[in-house]
Amino acid sequence: MPIKRLSHKTLSLLSGGLLCALAACGGPSPVPVGDWRSTLGRADIRFVEKDSGTYAAIVAHRVHGGGLCPVEYPVVKTSQGCYIQAEGRIVVSYDPEKDRLFLSPGGTYVRKREVRQPDTDKDKNTYSSLKTKEK
Cα of first residue to Cα of last residue in the chain, in angstroms, is: 90
CA angle 69, 45, 120 (to 5 degrees): 80
pLDDT of residue 34: 94
pLDDT of residue 29: 55
Burial track 91-123 (b if 16+ CB lie within 10 A, e otherwise) = ebbbeeeeebbebeebebbeeeeeeeeeeeeee
| Whole-angstrom distance, CA of residue 90 vs CA of residue 45 | 12
| Whole-angstrom distance, CA of residue 29 vs CA of residue 68 | 29
Q: Can you list the residues of the chain whose pLDDT is less than 70? A: 1-29, 114-135
Q: Where are the domains of the chain?
A: 34-111
pLDDT of residue 80: 87
What pTM does this model have?
Answer: 0.61
